[in-house]
Structure 1
Amino acid sequence: MQERAARTRQALIRAAAREFDHHGYAAASLARISRAAGTSVGAVTFHFASKAELADAVHAQGVAETRHALQRVGRGVAPLQTAFSMASTVVRCLEDDVAVRAAARLDRDRETSVPNWTAVWSGLIQEELAEAVGMEHHASATPSIRQAAPSVVLALVVYLVHGAEMDLRQQLRTGTREVRGSSVSDLFTRIWTTLLPAVERPTSS
């Protein structure tokens, strides 16, 4: 019985993730969610006392998936490259995981999402950028940040990730994702590679 309840709960979270991703929080319908999950509205309210509670569960799953993906990013000797790899991973999560996209949208639709999805991944990237700055004070061949403040570089990364999300949403909305020559994450990589010389330099030995 508990296993069945757990399966129903997870099916509801998956269905709700698609609903919140497509329609946003305000327009999300519990009736559509229950139909997509193959259950009744009563089952929704049995597992989740309100739409807000269901949204919290979806948001938490999106945050957890993002954190899990970032934990798999290798930490090398170049923090700036690690920060880029982390940002690319976030974009791929947006492409591949509807719960992650739902968490990103719920952040904008509601002001009560804790922890904020963007703050979770941007905080980890900020730590890597701070480490890159620290390398300015050591003799190394590792690329490091120029004199621009790490907060400016972080803002650039956040803007690029949010821009990639909007591009992806437009593709999904218009059905053009499959006809484009490259994925959003591929384009993100090309943009960052173009900008990278402006924010890094080899430190002198």
Structure 2
Amino acid sequence: MTLGALTFHFRSKAALASAVVEEGIVELERLSTADSATGRPLGDLSSLALRVATALQTAVLTRAAVRLVEEGHVRSDWPGAFRAEVLRLLEEASLAGELAADVRPATAAHLIMYVMEGVAAQSRRAAAEGGSTVADIAEVWRAVLGGLAPRMP
């Protein structure tokens, strides 16, 4: 696409940013609502987090959308919707005995949101450098889960 065609279609930078966010968030919403109900809420949460992490690593539009939202250029309710899904899965995990007794679902949701913010930042760096972080993210995720799950005697 030429710069002329781009500026003809989008009358302002704000309009272009909104279009990028709209398209990128559609993919994140699809990933967030993909049915992976296994009856193991922490497993479902792991699957969700790794799907989103992979999209942030591999999909330029998704990564750009998240960055535009994070930096406040465009408003989106996706982070809140994602957090609500994370919290729902953590509450189910708690009820199923999959969370350690001293781990509150709301606290675990904060931790996961912080980890996902780090994933987004690392994905931007890796993309700029031409690297991949999916394997690293999977390893970090296993460490997070180890801290959330009850210890086996």
TM-score (norm 1): 0.65
Following superposition of structure 1 onto structure 2, how do residues 33-44 of structure 1 map, counting pairs within 5 Å? 37=1, 39-41=2-4, 43-44=5-6
Q: CA deviation at 1:198?
A: 2.1
Inter-CA distance 201–172: structure 2 relative to 1 (3 Å threshold): same
Q: 1:118-150: CA deviations, max 9, x gaps?
A: 2232221121112222334xxxxxx33432221
Q: 1:147-168: CA deviations, max 9, x gaps?
A: 2221211121112222122222
What is aligned with 1:197? Answer: 146
Q: 2:116 aligns with which of 131, 144, 161?
A: 161
Please tell me the residue identity of whatever aligns with 1:125: V
Q: 1:144-198: CA deviations, max 9, x gaps?
A: 34322212111211122221222222223234x1xxxxx4121111122123232
DSSP-derived class of the 1:148 partner: coil
Where structure 1 has 5 or more consecutive residues not aligned to the other structure, the ranges are: 1-36, 137-142, 178-182
RMSD of aligned alpha carbons: 2.3
Whole-Å separation in 1 of the counterparts to 2:134 and 2:122: 10
Q: Is the 8 A contact 1:80 1:145 kept in 2?
A: no
Q: Is the 8 A contact 1:76 1:82 kept in 2?
A: yes
Whole-Å separation in 2 of the counterparts to 1:149 and 1:130: 8
Deviates more, 1:194-203 or 1:64-73: 194-203
Q: CA deviation at 1:109?
A: 2.4
Following superposition of structure 1 onto structure 2, how do residues 59-78 of structure 1 map, counting pairs within 5 Å? 59-78=21-40
Q: Which has the larger radius of gyration?
A: 1
Percentage of identical aligned residues: 26
DSSP-derived class of the 2:99 partner: strand
- Number of residue-to-residue matches in the alignment: 152
Inter-CA distance 112–172: structure 2 relative to 1 (3 Å threshold): closer
Bigger relative contact order, structure 1 or 2 (CA pairs below 8 A, ≥6 apart): 2
Where structure 2 has 5 or more consecutive residues not aligned to the other structure, the ranges are: none
Q: 2:12 aligns with which of 33, 45, 50?
A: 50
TM-score (norm 2): 0.85
Please tell me the residue identity of whatever aligns with 2:105: P
DSSP-derived class of the 2:114 partner: helix
DSSP-derived class of the 2:53 partner: helix
What is aligned with 1:80? Answer: 42
Q: Is the 8 A contact 1:83 1:128 kept in 2?
A: yes
